[in-house]
Structures are given as structure tokens and as C-alpha cells.
Amino acid sequence: MEVRAYRSADLDSIVELESRAFPVGPYSRRMLSSIFRNPLSFTFVAEEDGRIIGYASVLPLDAESADVESIAVDPDYQGRGIGGILLEAIEREMIRRRYKRSVLEVRDKNEAAIAFYRRHGYDIVSHMPRYYHELFGGSRGAYRMTKLLSQP
């Protein structure tokens, strides 16, 4: 498996991956294109045998904080540590760009994702009861989680 920077030719594969990884509320092609075109954003993909099996995108919030906009792994490849590898890759890039804090939002009913982020050093800092448009597990809520990034 290789982790590399996003290329525009990856868009179709990421749109498909997004819908496979998120049966409720996947990002649309238009939303993904908007994220990828933002000159301040960055995205890494995990690729195996020419197939994109995961990706992670980051958008800056301010001079000190960057938001993990999306992180997804193909369901056929989950449980192999790919999400952690992608998360570590984007955190290294955040540090390289001198961000001090990583921020993300996660559905409040997504126990597996919450546990994943906790294992990687994120803490819940707030709850937003109506963050998402679509219901998931009977909720539209999200937790905001943050992690202070260690500077070299």
C-alpha cells in the first residue's frame, strides 16, 4: 500500500469510495471537488494495486487549527490500520504546515469512529445536536473532537 497526495484523476474513485464508506450522508461529487480545489486544503489517498482504498482531506480553520474534513476507508479494507495510517499522514502534514490543533466532527452515534479517534489522541470538546442533515442511529448530532499536535 502507498499513501500519496491526491491527484485530480482520483476524483471518480473517491466519489465511489465515499458512497461505499458512508451509506448515510456521503459527500457529493460537487462537495468533494470543492474541497479538493481549495488551495489551502490537502488530501492524501491510500492506494493498493492501482485502486484507491482510502483517503483523508483537511481544510484549515484558522492559523492554528485544521479540520479533518473527511477520512474514509473502503469497507472491504477496514480493520487493517489504513485509517490510522491516513490520520497519521495528515497530522504530519498539519505539523509541517505549523498547525497546532487538529479538529474533527464525528456522528455522536458512531461509536466505532469515536473509539478510533480516542485511540489516536482526540478528545470530545463539544456536542452539536443538529449538526447533520441526515439521521444516523436516530440522531443528527455530532461531537467535535480535537487533538493538540506535537511540534518537532
Record the cell numbers describing residue 135, joined without a space. 439521521
Report which secondary-structure segment, H or E, holds 123.
strand 123-128
- pTM greater than 0.75 (yes/no): yes
**Under a CB-based contact definition with an 8 Å cutoff, are residues 25 and 133 in contact?**
yes
**Under a CB-based contact definition with an 8 Å cutoff, are residues 145 and 125 in contact?**
yes
**pLDDT interval class at 140 (50, 70, 90):** confident
Report which secondary-structure segment, H or E, holds 54.
strand 51-60
How many C-beta atoms lie closer than 10 Å to residue 23's C-beta?
Answer: 10
Those residues with Cβ within 8 angstroms of residue 15's Cβ, 6 or more apart along the chain or in another chain: 28, 29, 32
Strands 2-5, 42-48: pairing is: antiparallel
* Domain 2-148 belongs in CATH node 3.40.50.720: no
Inform me whether the pLDDT recorded for 136 exceeds 80.
Answer: no
Q: How far apart are the C-alpha atoms of 115 and 91, rounded to whole Å?
A: 18
* Environment class of 136 (CB within 10 Å of its CB; exposed 0-12, middle 13-18, buried 19+): middle
Point out which residues pair with 142 in neighbouring strands. Answer: 107, 128
Record the cell numbers describing residue 151, joined without a space. 511540534
Instruction: Please give the pLDDT value at position 45.
Output: 98
Those residues with Cβ within 8 angstroms of residue 57's Cβ, 6 or more apart along the chain or in another chain: 6, 35, 36, 41, 42, 43, 68, 69, 70, 71, 90
Instruction: Please give the pLDDT value at position 48.
Output: 96
| Mean pLDDT to the nearest integer, 53-74 | 96
Record the cell numbers describing residue 118, joined without a space. 480516542
